[in-house]
Structures are given as C-alpha cells and as structure tokens.
Amino acid sequence: MKIADRVQQIPPSGIRKFFEIAEEMDDVISLGVGEPDFTAPWAAREAAIDSLKAGKTSYTANRGMRELREEISKRVSTQYDLSYDPDDEILVTAGASEGLDVAFRALVDPGDVVAIAQPSYISYVPGVTFAGGEPLPVATREEDDFKLTTELLSAHGVADADMVVLCYPNNPTGAIMTAEEMAEVAAFVREHDLTVLADEIYADLTYGDDHTSIATFEGLRERTVVFNGFSKAYAMTGLRLGYAMAPPEVISAMNRVHQYTMLSAPTTAQYAALEALRSCDSEVVEMRKQYNRRRQFVLSRFSEMGIDCFEAKGAFYVFPECPWDDTDAFAEALLEEQGVALVPGHVFGDSGEGHLRVSYATGLNELREAMARIEAFLG
C-alpha cells in the first residue's frame, strides 16, 4: 500500500532504539520520561469516576464543556493576566498536542514557513510537515541559556517566516524566558507580522521567576495561539486534556478541524480537569516543591562530576553536555552497562546535539542511584 510522501519524509522517533533496549532490561532507572512520576490528584480522579457513575459518557460540545472553558478563562485571567472569552476564544483539546496539530492544520498553508525554536518537543516539526508547511529550525545556544533572542530570530531569517513556535518553559532544556526577554521577542514578532504558537504546557513548573506568556504583550494577543493543558502540572498525561486560546476567528478555524477529527475531547477527562482547576492547586504546589529539590540535587551532582549543565529553571528536565562526542553511543552504553536511560539531545533537533535530556520526574532515591551509576560509568 502506498504511504503518503509527507509521512514518509518524517523519520521514526529517535528514542525508539533506546526504548527497545530498555524494554529488554531489568533494573533500568529511567531519566528518559517526559511525564510526572506523581499520580493525578485524587479529587480529579474522583471527579472522573463520578462522571462515569453518573453516566456522563456522551460527546460534549466540540469546543469542550462550557463550565470547563469558563474555569479555564478564570484561571488564565488570574494566573497569567490573560483574558479569553469562554464562548469563542477557548478550545478544549485531547492534550496540548492535539491542539498544536489542529492549529498547524488550521493556520498553515502549503509552503508556509514555520520557525521553531529548538531544541524543542519532538512533535512540532512533524506537525508542520503534515500540514504541508516548511519547518525552519531556530537553533538556540547554551551560551544564551537556550533562550530565544531577536539576534537568533534575525540570523535565521525568521523575519520572512509566517509563524513561530515557542515552548517556554522548554522541553528538553528546562530553559525559561524572563518577561524582559519575552518582550524583545514579542517586539520582533509584532514588527514582522508573525503568528505565534506558544506551547505553555510547563507554565506552572518554574523555579524562581513566574512564567510570562507572550500573549500578554501589546499587540500579541491577536496574533498568538496559547496552548496549555493538564498533563504536566496536574500529572494527568494519560487523560489527554489540553486547551488552546486565541482570537475568535482562529478558534473557529481550529474548531472546524477539531470537530472533523476529534469531535470533542474525552468527556471523563474534562470532568477531571474541571475538578483539577477547582480544587487541586495545593497538589501542584507540593509537586513543584519536590521537583525543585530534585532539580537542585541533579544540577549539583552533575557539577560534582564535572559535567557542564546550565541551570534549568523550568519544566522537569536538565540538559547537560554529553561527556562523549557521540551522544548516541554514550546513551546506549550507559543504558546497557549501568541501566540508566536518558535521551540524546539531537532527538529534539540538531541544536540539541552534544547534550542529553535528563528528566528528574522520578523519586530522589532513584535519582541518587542513577547519578551514582553515571558517576561510576564515567570512572
């Protein structure tokens, strides 16, 4: 059977080989996961169960349950100073990932150039390609703490692009952007009339400065789609629930794609999300506190081992330099000899080459053992 060209041109995920090795092994400590090790707050789980007991098993409105959209609107208004109308400016999706895919398909025409700040989450480039667009990687640098700068945007020709994708706090580097740094990017975007897709799925997980959304800057709200969700902050990855916020005409276009593919996000998950927003913030605070301790632990251990690692201030990753020239060989040998799984940085784009993504979304005892094994491996 013929496979579509746009699918064939996307290579299989770079982590597949490592996954297959790890599956064959016992006693693997995985620092390769992009999801919390906590369980979703009980109140959210209970709300999901109650919704099932009450027989809430039908579709919801395409855009998501109205009361959930209202709660999202209230939340982003108080937390990020963003104002979105629950009726026509919010779309509930099956994870932020579906939201991004829908946005690419709704907003990108064949040949449109979509700049992507890299290293980045692995789905952006395929998402643009599937939509017929042309991905334009914008390599951020360790010397800039993996932040996006106007200098980088200019150097990569983003002024002539149609769209730019941002992900801060960043997967895989853990980088965040301060309000001042974000303001400069916002000015560039405005000057060159770009559309912005801002993936803010890790917005609740910062250690120090609070997250600043690019949509809060003058003239940016009308050209930005903001994505967020419940996977990371509320440890609800498997429930697949996210949302997108944008001006009415954009949400309307995205909803057209969404309604013909997903119809509506899972109803059970929407009830869980509603409860999460209403009553689970103390759990988020506790999880963030735990992540922060682990972050400091891991950064300190890499420093003791003499491995360069900039101070990640968001998400739950650090992105140290690889001690070997060949990151794949290092990751493979570390996995096979010591049973420690981590991800080579190039999986997240060429600019990640020479680094490793280390997730600290795992218990401190495991982290301590993993770091001891890495130290032993280095000799």
Partner 1 sequence: MSTRDELLALLLENARYSTEDLARQTGADTDEVAAAIEELEASGLIRGYQAVVDWDRADQERIRALVELNVTLDRETGYDDIAGRLVKFPAVKSLRLVSGDYDFALEVEGDSLREVSKFISEKVAPVPEITQTVTHYIMETYKDRGLEMGDGHDDGRLSFSP
Helix (H) or strand (E) holding 296: helix 281-305
Least distance (Å) between residue 300 CB and partner 1: 4
Minimum CB separation of residue 236 from partner 1 in Å reads: 13
To partner 1, the closest distance from the beta carbon of 158 in angstroms equals: 24
- Name the DSSP class of 141: -
Distance CA 48, CA 361 (A): 24
The residue ranges that bind partner 1 (CB under 8 A) are 13, 15, 18-19, 22-23, 28, 30, 32-35, 37, 39, 121-123, 171, 237, 293-294, 296-297, 300-301, 341, 343, 362, 364, 368
Nearest CB to partner 1, comparing residues 13 and 83? 13
Nearer CB in complex with partner 1: 123/252: 123
How far is residue 199's CA from residue 93's CA, in Å, rounded to a whole number? 13
CB of 112 vs partner 1, minimal distance in Å = 24
Question: In this complex, which beta carbon is closest to partner 1, that of residue 46 or of residue 160?
Answer: 46
Beta carbon nearer to partner 1, 32 or 320:
32
Q: Which of 55, 28, 21 is nearest to 373 (CA)?
A: 28
**CA nearest 234: which of 25, 4, 26, 47?**
47
Amino acid residing at 356: L
CB of 239 to partner 1, least distance (A): 14
Categorise residue 262: left if φ over 0, alpha if ψ from -120 to 50, beta otherwise. alpha
Mention every residue, 6+ apart, whose C-beta is less than 8 A from residue 174. Answer: 295, 312, 313, 314, 315, 316, 317, 318, 319
Closest to partner 1 by CB, 178 vs 237, is 237
- Nearer Cβ to partner 1 (118/171): 171
CB of 367 to partner 1, least distance (A): 10
